[in-house]
Structure 1
């Protein structure tokens, strides 16, 4: 075996371990509750922004429990929802059944999609693909499976917005990321997304918008909900569980963050809505 092939195998094993860790992280807590109770408006907004039409073939990448996939299906599209975490797909199936939506659910990796080139009219992701660790690989796949003239639509949290600030607050308490992994909120930076998609798309439009969140009675309520329901937050707390001082410090940091954003029982969480058309081959 050559040195290059050994290095390739080592990298492949490291990537498999990282994806297994991500899969387990998103199975923690209750992300479907986050999607349905806190951020339900994001999916329909992405469906509208992406111009999803009846009969169009749509792929929702890193679909979670179907926050965008289900509204797309209810709009009459032929939808495939792909996610790394089987538990989220199962929750999505149940939600779709309850709402009378028909779509396909498939386990898969945003960085290695199992679809042919140009297979979809619309490829979208709602605060999902941003968590794939290798941004360029994920972006390449979004472009690859979208047909020429088709639409790519993305909603991602911005680095400067509330969720971006939450990740910044958690960073000192989290294990260091593996080599090559990039911070999720970078997907909420227009220039970063433009660089990822490059000249393979045309007419890229990027808009900063805000989600109005009024689900929390106070800063502690926000902290406790995310501490028990949101996989990334749960994972950070687990990493410091043996250090009460760090747990108390993170508790205080999240309460302080929410207190600075809460006004009259509500917060505005900034996100970036990106739409672009796949350039002709």
Structure 2
């Protein structure tokens, strides 16, 4: 008797790889060390209020979900990576906040059409590989007249340039996969949403990072804790280029340091975009 053996689709394999990348390292410690201020910023800008149904796409461990829940909103935090959701549940329990945590792919959201008053994403949905599919999903689950709120790293800011620096050391991405920092481009966003969202707020700002004494400590933190950097360095090591990668990230940190040699300061530029679904 013959037996048919099913193999994972290319999309399933890609998403499994993404899960593994974000589960590596320690992204929650990065949130606690310097990313924490971003959550309240997007929640305040979105005007989230008690009683609203809110979806946080690419929620991670709840950097935006938790302050949204603290307003009294009914929050669903969705993320591809179970390990980050588990840490989010822990943080919510400590804070005494009640919200729903759901394993959810930004490109295939498991929610009904027009089911949320506010759909937001804080440096989360931008990392889904197919931008148009992701944007279509964000629009689909937002009710007409509802709010779509995005905070994304910009192409020309620190994180955008970090990805540009790492690209020569990374494996070639599958066809159709787009660079995450494009979400920080106003032109790119308007192309993705195609008149379906009336943007009322489009502004650039920076997250100032002063948590590291020496500039290169910033790079060491990324190499130890940030999934994408861990994955790229591992590829560089497989290719015998680990020392070259380390030197490149040291140079990057020296160039982007806006402080001194013994009191580092970095500015991470982002684009905050708030709009109404038409």
User: Offset at 1:62?
Assistant: 0.6
| Number of equivalent positions | 269
1:28 to 21, 24, 29: 24
Q: Is the 8 A contact 1:223 1:255 kept in 2?
A: yes
TM-score by length of structure 1 reads 0.93
Q: Which deviations, in whole Å up to 9, do the C-alpha atoms of 1:24-44 show, x marking residues without a partner? A: 100000001111211111111
Structure 2 distance, partners of 1:123, 1:15, is: 24
Q: By how many angstroms is 1:133 displaced?
A: 0.3
Report the Cα offset of residue 258 of structure 1: 1.3
User: Retained in 2: the 8 A contact 1:219–1:256?
Assistant: no
For the residue of structure 1 that corresponds to 2:12, the secondary structure is: helix
TM-score, with structure 2 as normaliser: 0.94
- Equivalent residues of 2:57, 2:120 under 8 A apart: yes
Query: In structure 1, what is the Cα distance between the partners aligned to 2:239 and 2:9?
Result: 31
State the partner residue of 2:246: 251
Whole-angstrom CA distance in 2 between matches of 1:34 and 1:187: 21
Deviation at 1:243, TM superposition (A): 4.0
User: Distance in 1 between the 2:135 and 2:30 partners?
Assistant: 25
User: Helix, strand or coil: the match of 1:82?
Assistant: strand
1:113 aligned residue: 109
Equivalent position of 2:42 in the other structure: 46
Q: Distance in 1 between matches of 2:98 and 2:253?
A: 37
CA distance in 2, matches of 1:258, 1:101: 37
Q: Which range is displaced more, 233-242 or 183-192?
A: 233-242
Residues 103-123 of structure 1: CA deviation (Å, up to 9, x unaligned): 100001000111111100000
| Equivalent position of 1:200 in the other structure | 196
Aligned residues of 1:127 and 1:155 also touching (Cα < 8 A): yes
- Dislocated runs of 4+, deviation >2 Å: none
Q: RMSD of aligned C-alpha atoms?
A: 1.4
* Residues 250-259 or 110-119, more deviating: 250-259
Deviation, 1:223, is 1.4
Does structure 2 retain, via aligned residues, the 8 Å contact 1:36–1:67? no
Question: 1:62 aligned to 2:58?
Answer: yes
Deviations 1:200-226 (A, max 9, x none): 111342111100111111122111111
Residue number among 179, 184, 187 corresponding to 1:183 in the alignment: 179
Is residue 2:267 matched to residue 1:268?
yes
The equivalent residue for 2:149 is: 153
Question: In structure 2, which of residues 214, 222, 226 is the aligned counterpart of residue 226 of structure 1?
Answer: 222
Name the CA distance, whole Å, in 2 between partners of 1:248 and 1:40: 31
| Structure 1 pair 199–242 and aligned structure 2 pair: CA distance change class (3 A) | closer
1:163 counterpart (150, 159, 162):
159
Aligned to 1:103: 99
Rounded Cα–Cα distance in structure 2 between residues aligned with 1:267 and 1:56: 35
Query: What secondary structure is seen at the aligned counterpart in 2 of 1:199?
Result: coil
**What residue number does 1:37 align with?**
33
Unpaired segments ≥5 residues, structure 2: 1-5
Structure 1: gaps of 5 or more residues:
1-8
Q: Which residue of 2 aligns with 1:236?
A: 232
1:37-95 residue CA offsets vs partner (Å, 9 max, x unmatched): 11111111000111111111100001000010011001111000000000000011111
Does the 8 Å CA contact 1:218/1:262 hold for their aligned counterparts? no
